């Protein structure tokens, strides 16, 4: 069964989102686009981020990808949703570490800063990198999630 990915973008990430959607579908991912149906310069990134983050939080085995101008606004908004570990990523190394060490479940990318090929590489690394599951990383993630309690990751 293909991995399910929730995708969202505001107006500043719209064009990149459309390209990413094509790449992911061609690679066999089940892509669900939760962006507004039309490009609209008045899209507010928090609304899109919340839609994606809430779906990812509700379905543990899924991941999300968000795009806005910098990737930062989407990341801030997504991280307001319990169970989300969103990472704003600008290079392949950060993509790998965000998954390996932090078990990020939402990738936030800049629609205005990186070229298409860079975004494609970053996304591929992020999707293919597995969480290490090391005890020290689990301990730290648990502190993020529950301030010391235990959660499933």
Q: Could you tell me which residues are annotated as the binding site for D-ribulose 5-phosphate?
A: 10-11, 69-73, 102, 112, 136, 140
> 24, 34, 65, 68: which one is catalytic?
68
Which residues carry a binding-site annotation? Answer: 10-11, 69-73, 102, 112, 136, 140
Task: Let me know if 108 is a catalytic residue.
Answer: no
Distances (CA, A) of 103 to 22, 96, 97, 107: 25, 10, 9, 11
Whole-angstrom Cα distance, residue 63 to residue 84?
Answer: 10
Calculate ∠ Cα 74-120-118, nearest 5°.
85
What does the H/E/C string look like for 114-139?
CCHHHHHHHHHHHHHCCCCCCHHHHH
Q: Are 111 and 69 in contact (CB under 8 A)?
A: yes
Report the 10 Å Cβ neighbour count for 105. Answer: 24
Tokens of 102: 């932090």
Q: Are 6 and 52 in contact (CB under 8 A)?
A: yes
Catalytic residues: 68
């Amino acid at each position: 069964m293909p991995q399910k990915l929730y995708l969202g973008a505001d107006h500043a990430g719209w064009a990149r989102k459309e390209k990413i959607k094509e790449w992911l579908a061609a690679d066999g991912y089940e892509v669900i686009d939760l962006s507004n149906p039309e490009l609209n310069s008045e899209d507010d990134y928090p609304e899109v981020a919340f839609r994606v983050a809430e779906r990812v939080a509700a379905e543990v085995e899924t991941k999300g990808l968000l795009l806005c101008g910098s990737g930062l606004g989407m990341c801030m908004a997504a991280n307001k949703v319990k169970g989300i570990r969103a990472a704003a990523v600008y290079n392949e190394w950060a993509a790998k570490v965000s998954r390996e060490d932090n078990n990020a479940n939402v990738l936030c990318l800049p629609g205005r800063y990186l070229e298409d090929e860079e975004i494609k590489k970053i996304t591929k690394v992020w999707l293919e990198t597995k969480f290490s599951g090391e005890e020290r990383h689990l301990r730290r993630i648990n502190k993020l999630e529950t301030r010391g309690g235990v959660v499933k990751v």
